[in-house]
Amino acid sequence: MSAASPEPLAVTRVAGDGSSWSSSSTIVGMVTTRTFHVRVDNYSKTREMRNGAHMLSSSFVVGDQPWKIKYYPNGSNESATGQISIFLVRVGGVDLGLLADVQFDLIAQPAGTAAYALRFKHAFRPDTSYGYASFVSPEKLEELGCLKDDSFTILLDVELEGPPFVVEVPPSSLGWHLGDLLGETEGADVAFVVGGERFPAHRLVLAARSLVFKAQLLGPLKVEKGATISIDDMHADVFRAFLHFIYTDELPDDDDDDNDDSAAAIMAQHLLVAADKYDMPRLRLMCESRMSKRVCVSTAATTLALAEQHGCHGLKEVVLRFLKLPSHMKAVRCTEDYKHLLKSCPSIQQELTSSGLLP
């Protein structure tokens, strides 16, 4: 028994674990995660214990519930003779099953890294245990380099789901239901013609999402029900994505990492203009985010121009940081879009000069 560990079987908690609410099922409980070091000292002495004999650790707490570790140095039963057995024991408590996700990691010495791991999920009733009758053999324990100074350490991770239990409310399906209306002619009371394509829509949905549409469709100068409105400053594919956002609060292909970056950047640029025109701040912010992820030599000048024209200060800062790298600035200055930038936003040249990006 070492001086640092007065018990042959000692359990100490590792800092940095915590609790959270689970949202993976309809009925959920409080999920508590705890990590402990389980240290066995005087290993060679404990190996002299007979098959079926065990040692119990002192109690430790997970989720307001006491637990112990049961260690069998020479196997928990006849079939496991010679093996090291390890079990997690629930001590007392109310007669209610607690679902635990448990992992035992054997720690290699002196590296301190996991050399071997086993994991299980089990619903523990009061005063029951669960674990491994054949956790590891003495030969493997030495082979993995887990023995040091006649002791070894197991890292114990316990994720426990327990009371208080609640009935979870699933995410809102409003966006899905409104999305079902998208493109439906039934109930549609306005239509848009964009690039030769006709898009049926519902004026109350549009008015609820945009103050500009509200004035156009419900204000004193509102268009008649069933009217067709022509939009000449937007492409049909852009308007289709625009309507998709209005009805669902999402952009098409929201997880667009696999999409062509150039096409996605151009679509975001067009949607940014539409978002500004129709006063839709969330769409505008989403477009800024997408454009900021795709700032490169070929998009920097156009993105900077749009950011300046539409007051997107965060997006503008992203581009300016990109241009601070001399090689980026040099390459962007050779593009046609850069020449257009200087013509459409003369103040940008002065800002680039004052910030030291231009001589």
Distance CA 210, CA 194 (A): 19
Q: Name the fold adopted by 295-359.
A: 1.25.40
CA distances from 221 to 22, 215, 216, 224, 232 (A): 51, 8, 7, 9, 20
Over residues 73-132, the pLDDT tens digits come to 999 999 999 999 999 999 998 888 888 999 999 999 888 888 889 999 999 999 999 999
Locate 148 and state its tokens: 């040091």
Cis peptide before 66 (omega within 30 of 0): no
CB atoms within 10 A of CB 239: 20
Locate 184 and state its tokens: 């439906």
Nearest to 156 by CA among 45, 53, 68, 90: 68
- CA dihedral angle for residue 248, residue 254, residue 260, residue 264, rounded to 10 degrees: 50
Strands 55-56 and 129-136, bridge-based pairing: unpaired
Cis peptide before 281 (omega within 30 of 0): no
Are the C-beta atoms of 37 and 152 separated by less than 8 Å? no
Distance CA 349, CA 92 (A): 74
Residues 6+ apart with CB under 8 A from 136: 83, 84, 106, 116
Over residues 155-211, the pLDDT tens digits come to 999 998 866 566 767 788 888 888 889 888 888 999 999 999 999 999 999 999 999
| H-type alpha helices, 203-252 | 203-209, 211-218, 236-248
Q: How confident is the model at residue 15 (pLDDT cuts 50, 70, 90)?
A: low
Nearest to 38 by CA among 3, 15, 13, 17: 13
- CA dihedral angle for residue 139, residue 142, residue 144, residue 146, rounded to 10 degrees: 140
Are the C-beta atoms of 143 and 195 separated by less than 8 Å? no
CATH 2.60.210.10 domain range(s) in the chain? 9-167
Instruction: Map tokens 């066995």 to a residue.
Output: 40
- pLDDT-above-90 percentage for the chain: 65
- pLDDT-above-70 percentage for the chain: 88
Residue 255 has pLDDT above 80, yes or no: no
Q: What pLDDT is stored for residue 20 in this prediction?
A: 45
Nearest to 179 by CA among 98, 85, 251, 244: 244
Nearest to 75 by CA among 87, 88, 58: 87
9-167: CATH, from 2.60.210.10, 3.50.50.60, 3.40.50.150, 3.40.50.740:
2.60.210.10
* DSSP state for residue 276 in the 8-state scheme: H
CB atoms within 10 A of CB 104: 23
Q: What pLDDT is stored for residue 4 in this prediction?
A: 37
Q: Over range 22-47, report the average pLDDT.
A: 74
Locate 94 and state its tokens: 């109310």
Nearest to 227 by CA among 246, 241, 206, 210: 206
Residue 12 has pLDDT above 80, yes or no: no
Are the C-beta atoms of 121 and 99 separated by less than 8 Å? yes
CATH 1.25.40 domain range(s) in the chain? 295-359
State the pTM of this model: 0.56
